[in-house]
């Protein structure tokens, strides 16, 4: 009587588990982004809701501090909505973000399970895009509060938020694999170019 074949064990980081893990990271990043923005608006705004530009909290001296700034444009203060002046800025950013999210979601699904770093990078970019999109849809502006720069050096780095940091981390994770190519198969390792033994 032949032994009953054993069912293969599922790897804990298999596709289903990875998807759940990624979903958890996505939710945490978006939630943390929204909570910190809400805190910044409460802590550093005037009674009329406008930023109190004289109020800031040093975290690491002048290297890093918290202060409230509203961004009505895109990253680094750019205003790409100017290329389509007939569209309301909120509608422009909504359509732009929707297209970017659709493309990133498609790219995430196209990446293979072995491309873990790249998939994680796309995930962080998606979370950041959603975080700032929520601001644009609810406030018609993006809440920035992290002010970093070199003391005595001008200009400082543009004020940013957790969502922007998430996008930056995602881009780094996408670029990182290009510096570490897959190792070439060793002779006799059974690769596609290995000589066949008769």
Annotated active-site positions, please?
Answer: 144, 164
How far is it, in rounded angstroms, from Cα 95 to Cα 105? 15
Residues 111, 119 contacting (CB under 8 angstroms): yes
Neighbours of 144 (CB within 10 A): 23
Name 43's Cβ contacts closer than 8 Å, sequence gap at least 6: 57, 66, 68
């Amino acid at each position: 009587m032949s032994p009953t074949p054993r069912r293969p064990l599922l790897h804990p980081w298999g596709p289903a588990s990875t998807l759940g893990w990624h979903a958890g990271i996505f939710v945490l990043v978006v939630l943390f982004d929204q909570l910190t923005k809400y805190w910044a608006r409460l802590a550093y705004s005037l009674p009329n809701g406008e930023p109190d530009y004289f109020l800031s909290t040093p975290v690491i001296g002048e290297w890093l501090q918290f202060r409230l700034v509203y961004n009505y444009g895109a990253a680094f203060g750019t205003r790409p909505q100017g290329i389509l002046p007939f569209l309301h800025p909120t509608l422009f950013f909504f359509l732009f973000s929707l297209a970017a999210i659709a493309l990133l979601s498609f790219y995430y699904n196209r990446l293979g399970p072995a491309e873990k770093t790249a998939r994680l990078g796309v995930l962080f970019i998606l979370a950041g895009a959603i975080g700032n999109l929520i601001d644009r849809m609810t406030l018609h502006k993006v809440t920035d509060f992290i002010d970093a720069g070199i003391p005595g050096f001008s200009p400082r780095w543009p004020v940013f938020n957790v969502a922007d940091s998430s996008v930056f981390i995602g881009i780094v994770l996408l670029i990182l694999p290009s510096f570490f190519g897959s190792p070439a198969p060793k002779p006799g390792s059974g690769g596609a170019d290995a000589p066949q033994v008769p």
